[in-house]
């Protein structure tokens, strides 16, 4: 999995605990939509760069909600799917890096930040 700087989101997670239970469904929907959009953007990028040797790689990218005390989604290649464990993002001795996930995050994370702000406004915060 590729890791992105989520320090602002971690700060939000701490703040959500003070907001109360009414925020959970609203924020879960925001994060789910953001994860879905990140999956779509990453897979689209991967289709442009993976070539014939990585024909299954774009379809390996998905998201999964993790069970925890906060709202967490993991996005990236699923190693249980065909080519999901290949090193496309970071590269290997046989291929250069394909920073498809990073490119997707650069576009999608600001959108997620705006959706969070809108949801907080909707919640009256």
Strands (E), the chain: 61-66, 72-77
Q: Which pLDDT score is estimated for 112?
A: 94
What tokens does 120 get? 């907080």
Q: Which domain holds residue 14?
A: 7-68+76-122
Residue for token digits 């299954």?
56
Give the chain's domain count. Answer: 1
C-alpha–C-alpha distance, residues 120 and 125, integer Å: 5
Q: Walk along the chain (125 residues) in steps of 10 and give the mean pLDDT of each run.
A: 63 67 86 96 95 92 90 93 90 89 95 93 83
Q: Give pTM, 2 decimals.
A: 0.80
Which pLDDT does position 69 carry in this prediction?
A: 80
- The DSSP 8-state label assigned to residue 52 in this structure reads G
2 domain-assigned: no
In angstroms, the CA 42 to CA 61 distance is 7
* Residue 44 is assigned to a structural domain of this protein: yes
């Amino acid at each position: 999995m590729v890791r992105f700087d989520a320090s602002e989101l971690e700060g939000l997670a701490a703040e959500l605990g003070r907001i109360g239970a009414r925020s959970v469904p609203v924020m879960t929907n925001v994060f789910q939509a953001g994860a879905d959009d990140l999956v779509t953007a990453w897979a689209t990028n991967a289709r442009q760069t993976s070539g014939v040797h990585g024909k299954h790689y774009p379809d390996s990218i998905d998201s999964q909600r993790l069970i925890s005390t906060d709202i967490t989604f993991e996005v990236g290649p699923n190693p249980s799917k065909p080519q999901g464990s290949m090193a496309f993002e970071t590269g290997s001795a046989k291929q250069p890096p394909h920073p498809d996930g990073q490119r997707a995050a650069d576009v999608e994370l600001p959108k997620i930040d705006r959706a969070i702000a809108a949801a907080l406004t909707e919640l009256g915060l």
